[in-house]
Amino acid sequence: MSKYVKGLLEKDLSDRLDGVDEALLVDVMGMTANQSVGLRRRLREQNISLMVVKNRLAKRATEGTPLNCAFEGAQGALAIIWGGEDFISLTKVVSELDKDAEYEHFTTRGGVMDGESLTPEKVKEISKWPNREEQLSILVGQILSPGASLLSQLNAPGGLLVSQLDKKSEGLEDSEEE
């Protein structure tokens, strides 16, 4: 392949990855065509992009970007995966696919998060973290908890008074009936 064609491929890859700061590297070599199509369809439904790249080409295309450290020491052809709701959701999807028997040749090779290179073990650990939606629900619960406690404490004396008045009025009605 000529230098001109390599330059064009490098430019195209650089343009596609423009704005991507966090991504995962996976190995998809050895998958059949049907498995590859099924995998890409499954990822596309979740707004996740997958692109198989040559290692050396990816290193040159990502020079000066946070993604560059992901390709340090990587060998062979890899697939880069990015997108989804957030990075933690992406790691959850990739970890599920890694365990899926249908995609036996799909393996996690690492990635990059916040400019830091990730190992496959670290990717599995991150997949256990709560994603953005879960974090927001935890935060909302923590924000509303003191208010709910205060409300129940403010309502308790009034409820106690009402129940005592009800008992007293029932006692008066019973004595009048006799």
pLDDT value, residue 13: 87
Whether residues 71 and 102 fall in one domain? yes
pLDDT in tens, 29-53: 888 889 899 999 999 999 999 999 8
pLDDT in tens, 124-141: 998 888 888 888 888 888
CB atoms within 10 A of CB 86: 14
- Chain centre to alpha carbon of residue 59: 25
pLDDT value, residue 176: 61
Whether residues 116 and 137 fall in one domain? no
pLDDT value, residue 19: 85
Cβ distance 26 to 107 under 8 Å? yes
Whether residues 11 and 41 fall in one domain? yes
Cβ distance 16 to 74 under 8 Å? no
Whether residues 87 and 17 fall in one domain? yes
Whether residues 89 and 14 fall in one domain? yes
Whether residues 146 and 116 fall in one domain? no
Whether residues 151 and 90 fall in one domain? no
Task: Mark residue 64 as left, alpha or beta (left: phi above 0; alpha: psi -120 to 50; beta: remaining).
Answer: left
Domain residues for 152? 130-178
pLDDT value, residue 49: 92
Whether residues 70 and 13 fall in one domain? yes
